[in-house]
Amino acid sequence: MKPANPTPQTKFIFITGGVLSSLGKGLAAAAIGALLESRGLTITFQKLDPYINVDPGTMNPFQHGEVYVTDDGAETDLDLGHYERYTSVSLSQKNNYTSGRIYYSVINKERRGEYLGGTVQVIPHVTDEIKAAVRQLEGEVDVAIIEIGGTIGDIESLPFLEAIRQLRGDLGRENTLYIHVTLVPYIKTAGEVKTKPTQHSVKELRAIGIQPDILLCRTETTLSDELKAKISLFCNVDRDAVITARDVENIYEVPLWFHEEGLDNKILKLLNVWTGSPRLEPWQELVARIKNPSREVPIAIIGKYVELKESYKSLHEALVHGGVANDARVVLRYVSAEDIEAQGFEGAAELLAGCHGILVPGGFGGRGVAGKIMAITHARQEKVPFFGICLGMQLATIEFARNIAGLTDANSTEFNPGTPHPVIYFIKEWYDYRTSRVQVRDESTDLGGTLRLGSYPCRLLPDTFARAAYGAELIDERHRHRYEFNNEYRRQLADKGLVISGTSPDDKLVEIVELADHPWFLGCQFHPEFKSRPMRPHPLFTAFIKAALEHQKTEG
C-alpha cells in the first residue's frame, strides 16, 4: 500500500564551470530556477564553495565580493542573492556550504569518535558529508539546483565534484542532471569563434567521471548551427543541449534568452518532468521597463570598495529595482570616500555635483570614514536626498551629533575606543527575537560571532519617511553589524531634531533615524537591499529614488 502523502522525488541539477571564473554560473542557476518556477515547479538552491573559510563573513570584499545575509543570519556567497532575486525562494544556512564548513564538521565528528577509530579520508568521509549536505534538500521541492563554485581543474573543488559524481549513482540518472558553463571566445585577430577551450574543459570534467548533459556556452554572439554541431560532436552532448549563453544588455534578460534557446524544455525532457508552458510575461514586462524608462537620475554611492562593483551587488540591483518602480533609469556614480577625504569638503561638493541622491552603504573599518561624513554633511546642508545603510546610518548619527548637537568629538567606538561621546558603540547584549533569548558577546568573541545577523523586527513611528515608504507599522529586515546607536544619547540627539523613526519592538535598539526638516534623509541600521526583488522593489529604495527624481525636477 502506498503512503497517503508520499515524499516527492526531488530532481537535482548540478551546475559546474570551466575555462575561467566569472562566467556567470550563479546567474545561470538563478535564471534556470526562474524558468522552472514559471512553469509551476517548486525549487530551491544550494551553493557549494571550495574555499577553506567556514563562511565568507571575514573575507575581504575585494577578494570575495559582497557577503549576502539570509533571514536566519547565514553569511553566504553573493550568488544566493541572485537566487532570491530571480525566484520566490527564501534561503538559509543549509543553502551554502564551503570546504571549511564541511571539513569542520568532519573533524568534529572525528574528535567525538564517531568514525570508531577509523582512518578519516576524503573518500568516503568528506564526500559523504558533502552528499549529506546536498540530500538535506531531498523531498522538500520538485527541483534542487546545486552550483559548484570554482573552476574545473581547481584542486580544492575535487571533493565536491567527486560527491556529485557519486550522487548520480545514489539518486538515479533520471533524477540528476549535469550542466556545465564554459567559454566560447571570439578571437578578433582571427575573426573566429573558438571551441577548443570548451572541448578541453569538458575533457577535464569527463576525466573525473562526469559527462555533462547540457553545455551553457558563454559567448559574445549567438552560436551558429555549425558551431553547435561541432561542440556536440567533440563534447559528446546532444545537439539541442548546446545552449548559447550570449552576453545580454541586462541580467534580467537571461531567463528569456535561455527559454528562446530551448534550455528549460531540454532540462524537463532529460529529467522526465512534465509541466505546462512557462509564464514569462512578468519577465518580458520587467525587461521592457528597464530598457525603456521615461527618465533617468544620477545617484552617488560613497564607498571604499568602489573599484569592485561586486562588493555592492545587492545594493546595485536594489537601486535598479527602485528605478523600475519609478519608471526611471538609475545612473550609478561610484565615488571613492578617500577621494572626498583627500579633496576636503569643498572638493566633496565638486565630486558630488549633478547627483540627485547620495547613498552611503555598509562597511567595516575606519578607512574612508571622514570622506563619507563630508558627503553626509553635503547631503544635509544642500537638501540632497540621502540614504544611509548600516555604517551609513551610524555615520549620519555621528555627523548630526558633531555638527548639530554640538558634540564635536562624537564618534563610534569602532573608530575611536576612547571617544568622550560614543554615540555609536559596541553593544554587549540584546534580545534576539528569533531565539527568544538574550544574546551576549564581548570583544574576545570570534570576529564573526560579534555580529547581529539575520532578520529582526522593527516598529515604525507614524508620520515619518519610513512609515510612509513601508505603509506598515511592523517590518522585518536583515542585519549585519556589530555596533549600535547608544541610547544614552537618544534624548539629547532627539531634542536637537534627530527623528528616531524605527526601533526594536522593546524600544531598546534604534533601527532608523531621519531628519524631519529635509526632503528625504533616512539612515537604517539594517540592509534593505537584501530583500529587494526586481518585481517587488524594496519600499525604501523606491522612496529614495522618488525623492531623487523630485530633487532633480526642483533643481531643473
| DSSP bridge partners of 440 | 429
Query: Is the same domain home to 259 and 341?
Result: no
Q: Which of 285, 311, 333 is the last residue of a domain?
A: 285
Range of the domain at 78: 11-285
Query: Is the same domain home to 47 and 179?
Result: yes
- With a pLDDT cut of 70, the percent of the chain lying above it is 94
Query: Is the same domain home to 217 and 129?
Result: yes
| pLDDT average, residue stretch 90-110 | 95
What integer pLDDT is reported at residue 427 of this predicted model? 79
Q: Which of 321, 356, 378, 527 is flagged as catalytic?
A: 527
Environment class of residue 223 by beta-carbon count within 10 Å: exposed (0-12), middle (13-18) or buried (19+)?
A: buried
Query: Is the same domain home to 78 and 187?
Result: yes
Residue 6 placed within a domain: no
Residue 2 placed within a domain: no
| pLDDT tens readout for residues 227-236 | 999 999 999 9
| pLDDT average, residue stretch 424-445 | 75
| pLDDT average, residue stretch 17-27 | 90
- Quick one: which of 337, 319, 16, 330 has its CA closest to 145? 16
Task: Establish whether 538 is a catalytic residue.
Answer: no
Q: Which of 235, 355, 529, 551 is flagged as catalytic?
A: 529
Query: Is the same domain home to 44 and 108?
Result: yes
What integer pLDDT is reported at residue 54 of this predicted model? 83
Query: Is the same domain home to 408 and 303?
Result: yes
Query: Is the same domain home to 220 and 303?
Result: no
| Phi-psi region at 507: left, alpha or beta (left = phi > 0; alpha = psi -120 to 50) | left
pLDDT band at 61 (very low <50, low <70, confident <90, very high): low
Amino acid at 233: L
Q: Which of 235, 390, 458, 524 is flagged as catalytic?
A: 390
Q: What backbone phi and psi angles, to 5 degrees, belong to 216?
A: -100, 110
Position 128 pLDDT exceeds 90: yes
Query: Is the same domain home to 253 and 325?
Result: no
Query: Is the same domain home to 389 and 484?
Result: yes
Q: 514, 525 in Cβ contact below 8 A? A: no
Average confidence score pLDDT of the chain: 92
Task: Establish whether 481 is a catalytic residue.
Answer: no
| pLDDT average, residue stretch 183-204 | 91
What integer pLDDT is reported at residue 66 of this predicted model? 84
What integer pLDDT is reported at residue 3 of this predicted model? 43
What integer pLDDT is reported at residue 215 of this predicted model? 98
Q: Which of 285, 311, 345 is the last residue of a domain?
A: 285
C-alpha cell at 315: 545594493
Write out the H or E segment, with its range, that includes residue 439. strand 437-440
CATH number of residue 158's parent domain:
3.40.50.300
Q: 67, 81 in Cβ contact below 8 A? A: no
What integer pLDDT is reported at residue 310 of this predicted model? 67
Query: Is the same domain home to 154 and 297?
Result: no
> Count of domains in the chain?
2
CATH number of residue 509's parent domain:
3.40.50.880
Helix and strand element counts for the chain (H, E): 18, 25
Q: Which of 240, 260, 285 is the last residue of a domain?
A: 285
Query: Is the same domain home to 247 and 362?
Result: no
Residue 4 placed within a domain: no
What integer pLDDT is reported at residue 539 of this predicted model? 98
Task: Establish whether 529 is a catalytic residue.
Answer: yes
